[in-house]
Amino acid sequence: MDTSKSLSTQDLLGVARETFADQFGGIPSVEAHAPGRVELLGNHTDYNGGLVMASAINRETVVVGRPIPGRGALVHAVAFDASDTFLVDRVEQTEPGSWTRYVRGVCWALGERFGGLTSGFEAVFVGNVPLGGGLSSSASLQAAWARFLIGAGIVPRTGSLTGLDSSDPALHDQARMDIAQALRRSENAFVEVGSGLLDQFSAMFGAANQALTLDCLTLKHGLVPLGEHAPAIVVCDSGTSRRLADGMYDRRVAECQRVVDFFRSRIAVEGELMLRHIPLADLQANWDALDPVGRKRARHVLTENERVSQGAEALRNGDLTRFGQLISASHASSRDDFENSSPALDALIEAAAEAPGFLGGKLSGAGWAGCTVNLVKAEQAADFGAALARGYHKRTGLNTVVHVCHAAEGASARQVD
Ligand code: ADP
Ligand code: MG
Protein backbone atom coordinates (compact mmCIF):
# COMPACT_ATOMS: atom_id res chain seq x y z
CA MET A 1 0.00 0.00 0.00
CA ASP A 2 1.10 3.56 -0.54
CA THR A 3 2.86 5.62 2.07
CA SER A 4 0.55 8.58 1.44
CA LYS A 5 -2.77 6.93 2.31
CA SER A 6 -3.11 8.89 5.55
CA LEU A 7 -3.11 12.23 3.70
CA SER A 8 -6.47 13.93 3.48
CA THR A 9 -7.50 15.31 0.12
CA GLN A 10 -7.01 18.85 1.51
CA ASP A 11 -3.44 17.96 2.58
CA LEU A 12 -2.37 16.73 -0.84
CA LEU A 13 -1.89 20.12 -2.45
CA GLY A 14 0.17 21.41 0.49
CA VAL A 15 2.43 18.36 0.40
CA ALA A 16 2.81 18.65 -3.38
CA ARG A 17 3.76 22.36 -3.20
CA GLU A 18 6.22 21.80 -0.34
CA THR A 19 7.88 18.91 -2.13
CA PHE A 20 8.05 20.96 -5.31
CA ALA A 21 9.86 23.76 -3.47
CA ASP A 22 12.32 21.21 -1.99
CA GLN A 23 12.97 19.45 -5.27
CA PHE A 24 12.96 22.28 -7.79
CA GLY A 25 12.73 25.56 -5.87
CA GLY A 26 10.01 28.18 -6.19
CA ILE A 27 6.35 27.57 -6.94
CA PRO A 28 4.63 25.55 -9.66
CA SER A 29 2.70 27.35 -12.40
CA VAL A 30 -0.03 24.73 -12.83
CA GLU A 31 -1.86 22.52 -10.33
CA ALA A 32 -3.96 19.61 -11.55
CA HIS A 33 -5.93 16.86 -9.90
CA ALA A 34 -8.03 13.87 -10.84
CA PRO A 35 -10.15 11.45 -8.80
CA GLY A 36 -10.13 7.71 -8.31
CA ARG A 37 -13.34 5.87 -9.02
CA VAL A 38 -15.60 3.13 -7.82
CA GLU A 39 -17.46 0.91 -10.17
CA LEU A 40 -21.05 0.80 -8.96
CA LEU A 41 -22.36 -1.68 -11.54
CA GLY A 42 -20.96 -3.33 -14.66
CA ASN A 43 -18.07 -5.48 -13.52
CA HIS A 44 -15.79 -6.72 -16.34
CA THR A 45 -18.27 -5.46 -18.91
CA ASP A 46 -16.07 -2.73 -20.39
CA TYR A 47 -13.77 -4.80 -22.59
CA ASN A 48 -16.83 -6.82 -23.66
CA GLY A 49 -18.37 -3.73 -25.25
CA GLY A 50 -20.91 -3.52 -22.43
CA LEU A 51 -22.42 -1.02 -20.03
CA VAL A 52 -20.88 0.36 -16.86
CA MET A 53 -21.92 2.62 -14.05
CA ALA A 54 -19.26 4.26 -11.95
CA SER A 55 -18.65 7.22 -9.75
CA ALA A 56 -15.56 9.37 -9.33
CA ILE A 57 -14.72 9.68 -5.62
CA ASN A 58 -13.08 12.29 -3.40
CA ARG A 59 -9.75 10.45 -3.30
CA GLU A 60 -7.33 11.85 -5.84
CA THR A 61 -3.93 12.41 -7.38
CA VAL A 62 -2.46 15.91 -7.49
CA VAL A 63 0.25 17.02 -9.96
CA VAL A 64 1.97 20.40 -9.58
CA GLY A 65 4.67 21.65 -11.92
CA ARG A 66 5.88 24.06 -14.58
CA PRO A 67 7.31 23.95 -18.08
CA ILE A 68 11.08 24.48 -18.37
CA PRO A 69 13.27 25.38 -21.35
CA GLY A 70 14.76 22.41 -23.18
CA ARG A 71 13.48 18.87 -23.70
CA GLY A 72 14.08 17.30 -20.29
CA ALA A 73 11.31 16.01 -18.01
CA LEU A 74 12.01 15.87 -14.27
CA VAL A 75 9.40 14.05 -12.21
CA HIS A 76 9.22 13.34 -8.50
CA ALA A 77 6.82 10.85 -6.88
CA VAL A 78 6.10 11.63 -3.23
CA ALA A 79 4.71 8.13 -2.58
CA PHE A 80 8.06 6.52 -3.34
CA ASP A 81 10.31 9.50 -2.58
CA ALA A 82 11.79 8.79 -6.00
CA SER A 83 12.52 10.73 -9.18
CA ASP A 84 12.62 10.02 -12.89
CA THR A 85 14.15 11.96 -15.79
CA PHE A 86 13.63 11.46 -19.51
CA LEU A 87 13.51 13.35 -22.80
CA VAL A 88 10.08 14.40 -24.01
CA ASP A 89 11.03 13.55 -27.63
CA ARG A 90 12.16 10.03 -26.82
CA VAL A 91 9.92 8.57 -24.13
CA GLU A 92 11.25 5.09 -23.44
CA GLN A 93 9.62 2.36 -21.39
CA THR A 94 11.04 1.58 -17.96
CA GLU A 95 10.73 -1.76 -16.17
CA PRO A 96 7.23 -3.31 -16.00
CA GLY A 97 5.21 -2.45 -12.89
CA SER A 98 7.11 0.76 -12.18
CA TRP A 99 5.27 4.03 -11.44
CA THR A 100 7.50 5.72 -14.01
CA ARG A 101 5.79 3.78 -16.78
CA TYR A 102 2.46 5.39 -15.95
CA VAL A 103 3.84 8.93 -16.04
CA ARG A 104 5.95 8.39 -19.13
CA GLY A 105 3.04 6.62 -20.81
CA VAL A 106 0.84 9.72 -20.46
CA CYS A 107 3.54 11.86 -22.13
CA TRP A 108 3.99 9.28 -24.85
CA ALA A 109 0.28 8.83 -25.62
CA LEU A 110 -0.70 12.51 -25.49
CA GLY A 111 2.36 13.47 -27.53
CA GLU A 112 1.45 10.88 -30.13
CA ARG A 113 -2.23 11.83 -30.21
CA PHE A 114 -1.92 15.62 -30.12
CA GLY A 115 1.23 16.36 -32.09
CA GLY A 116 4.23 16.16 -29.73
CA LEU A 117 5.20 17.90 -26.50
CA THR A 118 6.28 21.53 -26.74
CA SER A 119 8.85 21.64 -23.92
CA GLY A 120 10.38 19.93 -20.93
CA PHE A 121 8.92 20.28 -17.43
CA GLU A 122 9.49 19.68 -13.74
CA ALA A 123 6.68 18.34 -11.60
CA VAL A 124 5.77 16.56 -8.39
CA PHE A 125 2.80 14.30 -7.79
CA VAL A 126 1.10 12.78 -4.77
CA GLY A 127 -2.17 10.97 -4.20
CA ASN A 128 -4.44 9.36 -1.64
CA VAL A 129 -6.10 6.75 -3.81
CA PRO A 130 -4.87 3.41 -2.40
CA LEU A 131 -2.46 1.89 -4.93
CA GLY A 132 -3.60 -1.38 -6.47
CA GLY A 133 -6.80 -1.45 -4.42
CA GLY A 134 -9.31 -1.43 -7.27
CA LEU A 135 -10.08 2.30 -6.98
CA SER A 136 -8.03 3.10 -10.06
CA SER A 137 -5.14 5.07 -8.67
CA SER A 138 -3.58 4.48 -12.09
CA ALA A 139 -6.27 6.34 -14.05
CA SER A 140 -6.34 9.04 -11.39
CA LEU A 141 -2.60 9.49 -11.91
CA GLN A 142 -3.00 9.48 -15.69
CA ALA A 143 -5.85 11.99 -15.80
CA ALA A 144 -4.13 14.36 -13.36
CA TRP A 145 -0.98 14.21 -15.47
CA ALA A 146 -2.95 14.79 -18.65
CA ARG A 147 -4.64 17.87 -17.21
CA PHE A 148 -1.29 19.17 -15.93
CA LEU A 149 0.44 18.73 -19.31
CA ILE A 150 -2.42 20.38 -21.18
CA GLY A 151 -2.88 23.12 -18.56
CA ALA A 152 0.82 24.01 -18.76
CA GLY A 153 0.74 24.11 -22.59
CA ILE A 154 3.23 21.23 -22.78
CA VAL A 155 0.62 19.30 -24.75
CA PRO A 156 -0.63 21.87 -27.27
CA ARG A 157 -4.35 22.51 -27.54
CA THR A 158 -4.73 21.17 -31.04
CA GLY A 159 -7.64 19.25 -32.59
CA SER A 160 -10.44 18.40 -30.20
CA LEU A 161 -8.44 19.73 -27.22
CA THR A 162 -9.45 23.25 -28.24
CA GLY A 163 -12.87 22.35 -26.80
CA LEU A 164 -11.61 21.25 -23.39
CA ASP A 165 -12.85 24.30 -21.48
CA SER A 166 -15.64 25.11 -23.92
CA SER A 167 -19.12 25.96 -22.65
CA ASP A 168 -20.46 23.91 -25.58
CA PRO A 169 -21.18 20.52 -23.95
CA ALA A 170 -20.51 18.57 -27.17
CA LEU A 171 -17.02 20.05 -27.62
CA HIS A 172 -16.23 19.69 -23.92
CA ASP A 173 -17.32 16.05 -24.03
CA GLN A 174 -15.34 15.25 -27.16
CA ALA A 175 -12.13 16.69 -25.72
CA ARG A 176 -12.49 14.70 -22.49
CA MET A 177 -13.36 11.51 -24.35
CA ASP A 178 -10.34 11.88 -26.65
CA ILE A 179 -8.08 12.32 -23.62
CA ALA A 180 -9.64 9.28 -21.90
CA GLN A 181 -9.05 7.20 -25.02
CA ALA A 182 -5.44 8.36 -25.34
CA LEU A 183 -4.91 7.43 -21.68
CA ARG A 184 -6.42 4.02 -22.22
CA ARG A 185 -4.05 3.53 -25.13
CA SER A 186 -1.18 4.50 -22.84
CA GLU A 187 -2.20 1.86 -20.30
CA ASN A 188 -2.68 -0.82 -22.96
CA ALA A 189 0.26 -0.11 -25.28
CA PHE A 190 2.86 1.59 -23.07
CA VAL A 191 2.25 0.34 -19.51
CA GLU A 192 1.16 -2.92 -21.13
CA VAL A 193 -1.83 -3.62 -18.92
CA GLY A 194 -4.99 -4.82 -20.67
CA SER A 195 -7.96 -2.73 -19.52
CA GLY A 196 -11.14 -1.08 -20.78
CA LEU A 197 -12.08 2.60 -20.90
CA LEU A 198 -14.01 2.76 -17.62
CA ASP A 199 -11.22 4.02 -15.37
CA GLN A 200 -10.00 6.86 -17.56
CA PHE A 201 -13.55 7.83 -18.50
CA SER A 202 -14.53 8.08 -14.82
CA ALA A 203 -11.47 10.12 -13.87
CA MET A 204 -12.18 12.58 -16.71
CA PHE A 205 -16.00 12.80 -16.46
CA GLY A 206 -16.70 12.57 -12.70
CA ALA A 207 -19.42 14.83 -11.25
CA ALA A 208 -20.41 15.61 -7.65
CA ASN A 209 -23.36 13.55 -6.38
CA GLN A 210 -23.79 11.83 -9.73
CA ALA A 211 -23.17 8.38 -11.05
CA LEU A 212 -21.73 8.02 -14.55
CA THR A 213 -22.93 5.61 -17.20
CA LEU A 214 -20.91 4.53 -20.20
CA ASP A 215 -21.73 2.31 -23.14
CA CYS A 216 -18.28 0.98 -23.96
CA LEU A 217 -19.21 0.14 -27.55
CA THR A 218 -20.92 3.34 -28.69
CA LEU A 219 -19.20 5.57 -26.06
CA LYS A 220 -22.62 7.04 -25.31
CA HIS A 221 -22.44 8.32 -21.75
CA GLY A 222 -24.45 10.22 -19.22
CA LEU A 223 -24.99 11.27 -15.63
CA VAL A 224 -27.55 9.83 -13.23
CA PRO A 225 -28.27 11.70 -9.98
CA LEU A 226 -27.58 9.89 -6.73
CA GLY A 227 -30.34 11.98 -5.19
CA GLU A 228 -30.79 14.93 -2.89
CA HIS A 229 -29.79 12.84 0.12
CA ALA A 230 -26.98 11.13 -1.75
CA PRO A 231 -25.79 7.95 -0.05
CA ALA A 232 -22.22 7.60 1.16
CA ILE A 233 -19.96 5.46 -0.96
CA VAL A 234 -18.04 3.43 1.59
CA VAL A 235 -14.96 1.69 0.31
CA CYS A 236 -13.48 -1.11 2.42
CA ASP A 237 -10.00 -2.36 1.81
CA SER A 238 -9.68 -6.09 2.40
CA GLY A 239 -5.97 -5.66 3.08
CA THR A 240 -5.22 -8.41 0.55
CA SER A 241 -3.09 -7.84 -2.53
CA ARG A 242 -4.09 -8.63 -6.07
CA ARG A 243 -0.54 -9.66 -6.95
CA LEU A 244 -1.52 -13.19 -5.98
CA ALA A 245 -3.98 -13.17 -8.85
CA ASP A 246 -1.54 -12.04 -11.53
CA GLY A 247 -2.70 -13.16 -14.95
CA MET A 248 -6.33 -13.74 -13.91
CA TYR A 249 -7.59 -10.62 -15.68
CA ASP A 250 -6.13 -11.73 -19.02
CA ARG A 251 -7.54 -15.20 -18.45
CA ARG A 252 -11.05 -13.81 -18.01
CA VAL A 253 -10.68 -11.73 -21.18
CA ALA A 254 -9.80 -14.95 -23.05
CA GLU A 255 -12.67 -16.92 -21.45
CA CYS A 256 -15.18 -14.29 -22.57
CA GLN A 257 -13.65 -14.36 -26.02
CA ARG A 258 -14.23 -18.11 -26.31
CA VAL A 259 -18.00 -17.55 -26.03
CA VAL A 260 -17.82 -14.81 -28.66
CA ASP A 261 -15.97 -17.25 -30.94
CA PHE A 262 -18.77 -19.81 -30.52
CA PHE A 263 -21.41 -17.30 -31.61
CA ARG A 264 -19.39 -15.73 -34.42
CA SER A 265 -20.90 -17.95 -37.11
CA ARG A 266 -24.36 -17.80 -35.53
CA ILE A 267 -24.95 -14.08 -34.93
CA ALA A 268 -24.32 -11.38 -37.52
CA VAL A 269 -23.65 -7.81 -36.46
CA GLU A 270 -22.26 -4.76 -38.14
CA GLY A 271 -18.60 -4.57 -37.17
CA GLU A 272 -16.91 -6.89 -34.72
CA LEU A 273 -19.05 -9.28 -32.64
CA MET A 274 -18.66 -8.67 -28.91
CA LEU A 275 -20.13 -10.40 -25.89
CA ARG A 276 -22.59 -7.55 -25.40
CA HIS A 277 -24.27 -8.37 -28.73
CA ILE A 278 -25.26 -11.87 -27.61
CA PRO A 279 -28.78 -11.96 -26.14
CA LEU A 280 -29.03 -13.70 -22.77
CA ALA A 281 -31.75 -15.92 -24.27
CA ASP A 282 -29.30 -17.16 -26.94
CA LEU A 283 -26.74 -17.93 -24.27
CA GLN A 284 -29.31 -19.93 -22.37
CA ALA A 285 -30.56 -21.71 -25.52
CA ASN A 286 -26.99 -22.85 -26.31
CA TRP A 287 -25.99 -23.53 -22.70
CA ASP A 288 -25.20 -27.25 -23.12
CA ALA A 289 -23.10 -26.71 -26.24
CA LEU A 290 -21.02 -23.95 -24.70
CA ASP A 291 -17.71 -24.19 -22.92
CA PRO A 292 -18.67 -24.76 -19.24
CA VAL A 293 -16.36 -22.04 -17.92
CA GLY A 294 -16.95 -19.45 -20.65
CA ARG A 295 -20.76 -19.68 -20.40
CA LYS A 296 -20.70 -18.69 -16.71
CA ARG A 297 -18.38 -15.77 -17.43
CA ALA A 298 -20.70 -14.67 -20.23
CA ARG A 299 -23.79 -14.96 -18.03
CA HIS A 300 -22.16 -12.63 -15.54
CA VAL A 301 -21.32 -10.04 -18.20
CA LEU A 302 -24.75 -10.14 -19.83
CA THR A 303 -26.67 -9.94 -16.54
CA GLU A 304 -24.36 -7.10 -15.46
CA ASN A 305 -25.34 -5.16 -18.58
CA GLU A 306 -28.99 -5.57 -17.56
CA ARG A 307 -28.23 -4.48 -14.00
CA VAL A 308 -26.62 -1.27 -15.27
CA SER A 309 -29.78 -0.37 -17.22
CA GLN A 310 -32.01 -1.32 -14.30
CA GLY A 311 -29.77 0.57 -11.87
CA ALA A 312 -29.93 3.77 -13.92
CA GLU A 313 -33.71 3.47 -13.99
CA ALA A 314 -33.85 2.91 -10.21
CA LEU A 315 -31.74 6.03 -9.62
CA ARG A 316 -33.88 8.10 -11.94
CA ASN A 317 -36.87 6.97 -9.85
CA GLY A 318 -35.03 7.86 -6.64
CA ASP A 319 -35.22 4.21 -5.55
CA LEU A 320 -31.99 3.67 -3.60
CA THR A 321 -33.26 0.44 -2.05
CA ARG A 322 -33.65 -1.17 -5.47
CA PHE A 323 -30.32 0.28 -6.61
CA GLY A 324 -28.60 -1.24 -3.57
CA GLN A 325 -30.17 -4.63 -4.25
CA LEU A 326 -28.77 -4.56 -7.79
CA ILE A 327 -25.30 -3.80 -6.43
CA SER A 328 -25.51 -6.79 -4.09
CA ALA A 329 -26.77 -8.96 -6.95
CA SER A 330 -23.71 -7.89 -8.93
CA HIS A 331 -21.44 -9.15 -6.18
CA ALA A 332 -23.22 -12.52 -6.07
CA SER A 333 -22.79 -12.83 -9.84
CA SER A 334 -19.07 -11.98 -9.59
CA ARG A 335 -18.66 -14.51 -6.81
CA ASP A 336 -20.58 -17.38 -8.41
CA ASP A 337 -20.29 -16.89 -12.18
CA PHE A 338 -17.26 -14.72 -12.88
CA GLU A 339 -15.31 -16.14 -9.92
CA ASN A 340 -13.32 -12.97 -9.36
CA SER A 341 -14.16 -12.60 -5.68
CA SER A 342 -12.14 -14.04 -2.80
CA PRO A 343 -12.90 -15.29 0.74
CA ALA A 344 -11.75 -11.90 2.10
CA LEU A 345 -13.97 -9.88 -0.28
CA ASP A 346 -16.95 -12.17 0.45
CA ALA A 347 -16.37 -11.73 4.20
CA LEU A 348 -16.36 -7.95 3.76
CA ILE A 349 -19.70 -8.10 1.95
CA GLU A 350 -21.22 -10.46 4.54
CA ALA A 351 -20.09 -8.17 7.36
CA ALA A 352 -21.44 -5.13 5.48
CA ALA A 353 -24.87 -6.72 5.06
CA GLU A 354 -25.15 -6.94 8.87
CA ALA A 355 -23.99 -3.34 9.48
CA PRO A 356 -26.40 -0.37 9.95
CA GLY A 357 -27.34 1.76 6.95
CA PHE A 358 -26.28 -0.84 4.35
CA LEU A 359 -28.07 -0.54 0.98
CA GLY A 360 -25.85 -2.78 -1.16
CA GLY A 361 -22.26 -3.81 -1.70
CA LYS A 362 -19.94 -5.46 -4.21
CA LEU A 363 -16.32 -5.93 -5.12
CA SER A 364 -14.92 -3.10 -7.23
CA GLY A 365 -12.54 -3.21 -10.17
CA ALA A 366 -10.73 -6.31 -11.35
CA GLY A 367 -11.49 -8.32 -8.20
CA TRP A 368 -9.67 -11.19 -6.45
CA ALA A 369 -8.41 -8.76 -3.80
CA GLY A 370 -8.44 -5.06 -3.01
CA CYS A 371 -11.61 -3.20 -2.09
CA THR A 372 -15.36 -3.53 -1.88
CA VAL A 373 -17.75 -0.65 -2.49
CA ASN A 374 -20.87 -0.18 -0.40
CA LEU A 375 -23.78 2.14 -0.74
CA VAL A 376 -24.72 3.35 2.74
CA LYS A 377 -27.27 5.79 4.13
CA ALA A 378 -25.14 8.91 4.61
CA GLU A 379 -26.09 9.57 8.24
CA GLN A 380 -25.12 6.02 9.23
CA ALA A 381 -21.80 5.84 7.40
CA ALA A 382 -19.61 6.13 10.52
CA ASP A 383 -21.55 3.46 12.45
CA PHE A 384 -21.54 1.29 9.37
CA GLY A 385 -17.74 1.48 9.07
CA ALA A 386 -17.20 0.58 12.73
CA ALA A 387 -19.62 -2.37 12.65
CA LEU A 388 -18.18 -3.65 9.40
CA ALA A 389 -14.62 -3.54 10.73
CA ARG A 390 -15.69 -5.60 13.74
CA GLY A 391 -17.59 -8.11 11.62
CA TYR A 392 -14.71 -8.51 9.19
CA HIS A 393 -12.17 -9.06 11.96
CA LYS A 394 -14.42 -11.62 13.62
CA ARG A 395 -14.72 -13.56 10.36
CA THR A 396 -11.13 -13.38 9.08
CA GLY A 397 -8.83 -12.04 11.79
CA LEU A 398 -7.94 -9.28 9.33
CA ASN A 399 -8.31 -5.52 9.71
CA THR A 400 -10.00 -3.40 7.08
CA VAL A 401 -9.32 0.23 6.25
CA VAL A 402 -12.64 2.01 5.66
CA HIS A 403 -12.86 5.07 3.39
CA VAL A 404 -16.12 7.00 3.60
CA CYS A 405 -16.34 8.75 0.21
CA HIS A 406 -18.80 10.65 -1.92
CA ALA A 407 -19.20 11.15 -5.65
CA ALA A 408 -16.78 13.86 -6.81
CA GLU A 409 -15.78 16.04 -9.77
CA GLY A 410 -13.51 14.79 -12.56
CA ALA A 411 -10.02 15.95 -13.54
CA SER A 412 -9.20 19.63 -13.78
CA ALA A 413 -6.24 22.01 -13.77
CA ARG A 414 -5.70 25.60 -12.75
CA GLN A 415 -3.01 28.19 -13.38
CA VAL A 416 -1.35 29.52 -10.25
CA ASP A 417 -1.31 33.33 -10.23
P1 ADP B 1 -5.26 0.60 -9.27
O2 ADP B 1 -5.41 1.41 -10.51
O3 ADP B 1 -6.41 -0.32 -9.01
O4 ADP B 1 -4.94 1.41 -8.07
P5 ADP B 1 -3.01 -0.43 -10.74
O6 ADP B 1 -2.10 -1.59 -10.54
O7 ADP B 1 -3.74 -0.32 -12.02
O8 ADP B 1 -4.02 -0.37 -9.50
O9 ADP B 1 -2.17 0.92 -10.58
C10 ADP B 1 -1.35 1.12 -9.46
C11 ADP B 1 -0.04 1.68 -9.90
O12 ADP B 1 -0.19 3.04 -10.36
C13 ADP B 1 0.96 1.79 -8.76
O14 ADP B 1 1.64 0.57 -8.56
C15 ADP B 1 1.88 2.90 -9.26
O16 ADP B 1 2.80 2.41 -10.20
C17 ADP B 1 0.93 3.82 -10.00
N18 ADP B 1 0.45 4.93 -9.14
C19 ADP B 1 -0.82 5.30 -8.93
N20 ADP B 1 -0.90 6.37 -8.12
C21 ADP B 1 0.36 6.70 -7.79
C22 ADP B 1 0.95 7.72 -6.96
N23 ADP B 1 0.22 8.60 -6.29
N24 ADP B 1 2.29 7.75 -6.89
C25 ADP B 1 3.05 6.86 -7.55
N26 ADP B 1 2.56 5.89 -8.33
C27 ADP B 1 1.24 5.80 -8.45
MG1 MG C 1 -5.51 0.64 -12.48
Question: Do residues 227 and 320 make contact, with C-beta atoms less than 8 angstroms apart?
Answer: yes
| Ligand 1 geometric centre to CA of 294 (Å) | 30
| Active-site residue, 383 included | no
Read off the DSSP letter of residue 245.
G
68-84 tens-digit pLDDT: 999 999 999 999 999 99
Where do the structural domains in the chain lie, given as residue ranges? 9-226+408-415, 232-405
Contacts of the segment 252-256: beta carbons below 8 A, 24+ positions apart: 252/44, 252/297, 252/338, 252/340, 253/47, 253/194, 255/291, 255/293, 255/294, 255/297, 256/44, 256/47, 256/48, 256/294, 256/297, 256/298, 256/301
Pocket test for ligand 1, best of 64, 131, 135, 148 (most atoms within 8 A of CB): 131
Q: Is the CB of 53 under 6 A from ligand 1?
A: no
Q: Among residues 128, 235, 146, which one has the least CA distance to residue 183?
A: 146
Pairing of strands 210-215, 72-77: unpaired
Q: Is the CB of 49 under 6 A from ligand 1?
A: no
Question: Do residues 15 and 5 make contact, with C-beta atoms less than 8 angstroms apart?
Answer: no
Question: Do residues 44 and 52 make contact, with C-beta atoms less than 8 angstroms apart?
Answer: no
Query: Which pLDDT belongs to residue 381?
Result: 97
- Hey, CA dihedral for 18, 24, 27, 30, is it positive or negative? negative
Class of the CATH-defined domain 232-405: alpha beta
215-249 tens-digit pLDDT: 999 999 999 999 888 999 999 999 887 665 678 98
Marked catalytic residue, from 46, 199, 215, 346: 199
Phi, psi of 295 (to 5 degrees): -65, -35
Average pLDDT of the residues in 264-287: 96
Read off the DSSP letter of residue 191.
I
106-135 tens-digit pLDDT: 999 999 999 999 999 999 999 999 888 778
Average pLDDT of the residues in 158-182: 95
Instruction: Please state which of the ranges 243-257, 307-321, 324-338, 377-391 shows the lowest mean pLDDT.
Output: 243-257
Distance of alpha carbon 128 from alpha carbon 146, whole angstroms? 18
> Which CATH fold topology does 9-226+408-415 show?
Ribosomal Protein S5; domain 2 (3.30.230)
Q: Is the CB of 363 under 6 A from ligand 1?
A: no
